Amino acid sequence: MERRYFGTDGVRGVAGEPPLTPEFVLKLGQAAGAYFKAHTPRPVVLLGKDTRESGDLLEAALAAGLLSQGVRVEHLGVLPTPGVAYLTQHLGATAGVVLSASHNPYQDNGIKFFSAKGEKLPDAAELEIEDLLQWELKTAGIGIVSDFHEAERIYLDFLTSKGSRLDGLKIALDTANGATYRLAPRLFQRLGAEVFALFNTPDGRNINRGCGSTHPETLQRMVVEMGCDLGVAFDGDGDRALLVDRKGRLFHGDHILYLNALVRKEHGVVGTLMSNMGLEVKFKEAGIQFFRTAVGDRYVHEKLVADGLKLGGEQSGHILFLDHAPTGDGMLTAILTLAAMQQSGRDLAEWQEALPMYPQLLKNVRVRNKQALIKHPRLLEAIRAAEARLKGQGRVNVRPSGTEPLVRVMVEGPQEMVEPVCDELVGVVERLDATGGQGPG
């Protein structure tokens, strides 16, 4: 049975439009509350959010729904998604909920649930909540609500305990005007670094706008201009981190996995279909097994748990260290990577050069019906033709975005072939979308 509202990362959409209207979010809160109440006599739910202007409205609607089912709600305020996950587990809450659309623009928002273990709610639980949405739920109790003022302190203490001293390092931080805007500078200063904070003045609408892990160009330039040792860029809800070396080069998720895997002496690492072939080749040379999953941290997490592994992640900087936390955490990723860098005796620039990347090009195409288009025979035929052109020297991956109305086209291979092959596939997608799949592909 397919989920109607829940995607790979919770319920997403434009705030104020279906499904993220206050009316629907109220019903979702009631359904989730009824689910938690059915499994726990006295459920307690922690509720956090990022810096989007729509957060207050959706938070009020969701909390009202939860309260109507007798759930106790603890407001955490603005807090990174992984902070909510950590506190849910640490405080023994029934569940955690985050209002955020991660790296998306401010107009979007989302609702993401965490289990008592601090992990994303299982598919079966999301299906049960969706089933409850079909019923007219009556008030089943009156919950109480309070503000939990110790959230930032407890989470910051946890992160500090995981880091190593950063004395003598000059670090630029891009907090994406998002959920890490207060905590990230404090964390790195606590660890002894000299910190320059960028994009740390959220106004409700500037989250991820020209900044953060999806737009690190300003950070890359500032690292060089200010003579920093490195930079760190977070996304809007703080579950991702990308680094920048002293030369201003992006140190993305594949680099982060490579550095940590070698220093930690991992025997197996999990990546995704988007992980660069260069990483796979270097892991093979080092005797490290490398596994690929579908794109999405929930799939990486499932593979890690199934195989008893600890390290995995995506190029986007969404990295999982399951021996430290149950979910991806941008600040944790950054400080653990810097600790591994110090342990190795090599800086990020040296690690950057130790991992040669295969040329890779990713283009996003906005479409009307991504699920139907991705299965279209003409597109499948075009993908097979593209793979034949690469003659085994590269990869093609065409997939729907898990959170946006996009088809993502990725081609990896020889420099002279990557762009023309990618452009050809993009053209097929655009023509099929324009004609509703009826015209020539």
Classify domain 153-354 at the CATH topology level.
Alpha-D-Glucose-1,6-Bisphosphate; Chain A, domain 3 (3.40.120)
Instruction: Name the binding residues for Mg(2+).
Output: 102, 235, 237, 239
Max Cα–Cα distance, the chain, nearest Å:
65
User: CATH says 360-434 is which class?
Assistant: alpha beta
Q: Check if the beta carbon of residue 241 is closer than 8 Å to that of residue 255.
A: no
Same fold, 11-149 and 153-354: yes
State the pLDDT at residue 224. Answer: 98
Query: Closest by alpha carbon to 231, among 283, 176, 275?
Result: 176
Distance of CA 171 to the CA centre of its chain: 23
Q: Check if the beta carbon of residue 244 is closer than 8 Å to that of residue 219.
A: yes
Cis peptide leading into residue 440 (ω within 30°): no
User: CATH says 11-149 is which class?
Assistant: alpha beta
Locus of tokens 């729509």: 54
CA 136 – CA 372 distance, rounded (Å): 32
Locus of tokens 């920048």: 244
Q: How far is CA 68 from CA 30, 140, 141, in A?
A: 7, 6, 6
State the pLDDT at residue 317. Answer: 97
CA 311 – CA 328 distance, rounded (Å): 11
Is 163 buried (19+), middle (13-18) or exposed (0-12) by CB count in 10 A? buried
> Tokens in use for 148?
């939990």
> Tokens in use for 275?
């992980």
229: CB partners within 8 A, 6+ apart: 169, 170, 171, 246, 347
Instruction: Name the binding residues.
Output: 102, 235, 237, 239
State the pLDDT at residue 394. Answer: 87
State the pLDDT at residue 52. Answer: 98
State the pLDDT at residue 435. Answer: 86
State the pLDDT at residue 436. Answer: 78
Q: How far is CA 355 from CA 137, 187, 228, in A?
A: 55, 29, 22
State the pLDDT at residue 289. Answer: 98
State the pLDDT at residue 67. Answer: 98
306: CB partners within 8 A, 6+ apart: none
State the pLDDT at residue 295. Answer: 87
Amino acid letter for position 249:
R
Regions of the chain with pLDDT less than 50: 441
State the pLDDT at residue 325. Answer: 97
102 is catalytic: yes
- Pick the catalytic residue from 102, 115, 275, 316: 102
State the pLDDT at residue 391. Answer: 83
Q: How many CB atoms lie within 10 A of CB 180?
A: 35
Q: Please tell me what DSSP assigns to residue 137.
A: P
Is 255 buried (19+), middle (13-18) or exposed (0-12) by CB count in 10 A? buried
Sign of torsion over alpha carbons 171, 172, 174, 180: positive
Q: How far is CA 375 from CA 61, 312, 382, in A?
A: 37, 28, 12
SS3 194: strand
User: For residue range 297-332, what is the model confidence (pLDDT) as tens digits?
Assistant: 999 999 999 999 999 999 999 999 999 999 999 999
> Tokens in use for 197?
């904070």
CA 14 – CA 54 distance, rounded (Å): 10
Q: What are the extents of the domains in the chain? A: 11-149, 153-354, 360-434
Q: Check if the beta carbon of residue 135 is closer than 8 Å to that of residue 42.
A: no
